[in-house]
Amino acid sequence: MMNADIAHRAENRAARLITDGMEPRNVIVLVSLGVGAAQSSPMIGLLWALEAILFAALIPMAYIKYGIRKGQWADRHVGQRQRRLLLIPVIMASVGAGIGGMLWFGAPQAMFALVVAMLATLAVLLPVTAVWKISVHTAVAGGSLAMLALTYGPLMWIAAPVVLVIAWSRISLGDHTPAQTIAGAVAGTVTSYLVFAALSA
């Protein structure tokens, strides 16, 4: 019994580290920098990546932290489905503002496509979240992988097990069912792939 308890605690610690380390904010930072570095002028691309990170990751995270302080939600992953219905539109507004800045100042097409794909994924997740707690973690991870594969080539798909590991962490912690993580990964991957491919060409 003691060994089983130790193993369970170790599994929970590992799952928590993965869930926190690969949360959407961090994955958005990675994919933005990755796509930015692939631009014809990497320095310009990385500057636009910082703009994407600001509106798609940092501002939403600041809003989440504000909500935690106000007691609006319990943690930074906003585990309650109903609360996500309040959060996702705010994130969409922030991402939309980032898209406006990219249009106004003439961002590279791929950077524009990156952020539009993020907004499109949120638009797909929002109505599903109204009735079912689809996984945002796996949606962002799958979508990011799709955009990196389109940017750097199909060899990037070998990183697909990372999405499975993130899904495992969410299931292990009891935050999602297997179906919710699979649905999130499929929704994020397909939406991001189609939008990014159409707009970055």
pTM for this model (two decimals): 0.95
**Number of domains composing the chain:** 1
pLDDT at residue 78, rounded to an integer: 86
Q: Round to whole Å and give the CA distance between 159 and 28.
A: 16
pLDDT at residue 9, rounded to an integer: 73
pLDDT at residue 7, rounded to an integer: 58
Domain that holds residue 194: 2-200
Residues in the chain with pLDDT values less than 50: none
pLDDT at residue 74, rounded to an integer: 81
Q: How many CB atoms lie within 10 A of CB 184?
A: 30
